[in-house]
Amino acid sequence: MAVYRLGSPMLQSAMDLATMTGQREGDLLKLSRSQLTDEGSAFSIGKSKRRHSRHGRIVETAKKLIIEWSPELRAVTERLKKLGPDIRSTLLCNLQGKPFTPDGFRPNWHRLMTRATTADKEGTPPALAERFTFHDLRAKSASDDNL
């Protein structure tokens, strides 16, 4: 059986982080080193909006979530710290050490899925039978927790 190494180590770590934490792509892309506390990874939830009871307008609520350290989560964050320059502010970054934007992350993800679902020039079968989205990793995280 062939061993496949898909994508960059940064994308591999992003996949691991997504399946371990179950967080949205946007929240993972914003995860900074300062959010790694002694208790775990502290996430600021991006989609925490609600309607105000008096005036009915949408307001942002500041929700924080701490995901406690597991040996696997600590290993992924340590691996991410070693990738790229030390001076970057976020854990997930591009080749220049700048934080990924959603518009910069998605083309990398789509390129990875294209490579993973097509056979190479030597005729090696594709690593994956079908494509999936980064958002699908959030659902996988939820189903893995139920096992």
pLDDT score, position 134 = 93
Name the 3-class secondary structure at 40: strand
pLDDT score, position 145 = 65
Between 87 and 30, name the one with better pLDDT: 30
pLDDT score, position 142 = 83
Lowest model confidence (mean pLDDT) among 70-79, 83-92, 134-143: 83-92
pLDDT score, position 2 = 37
pLDDT digits (tens, 9 = 90+) for 56-69: 776 666 678 899 99
SS3 content of the chain, % helix, strand, coil (to 5): 40, 15, 45
Across the chain, what does the average pLDDT equal? Answer: 84
pTM value? 0.80
pLDDT score, position 57 = 76
Would you state the structure tokens that stand for residue 136, as one six-digit string? 């699908």
Please count the CA atoms within 13 angstroms of the CA of 104 that sit on its side-chain side.
11
Q: At residue 57, what are phi and psi to the nearest 5 degrees?
A: -75, 155
Would you state the structure tokens that stand for residue 59, as one six-digit string? 């307001």
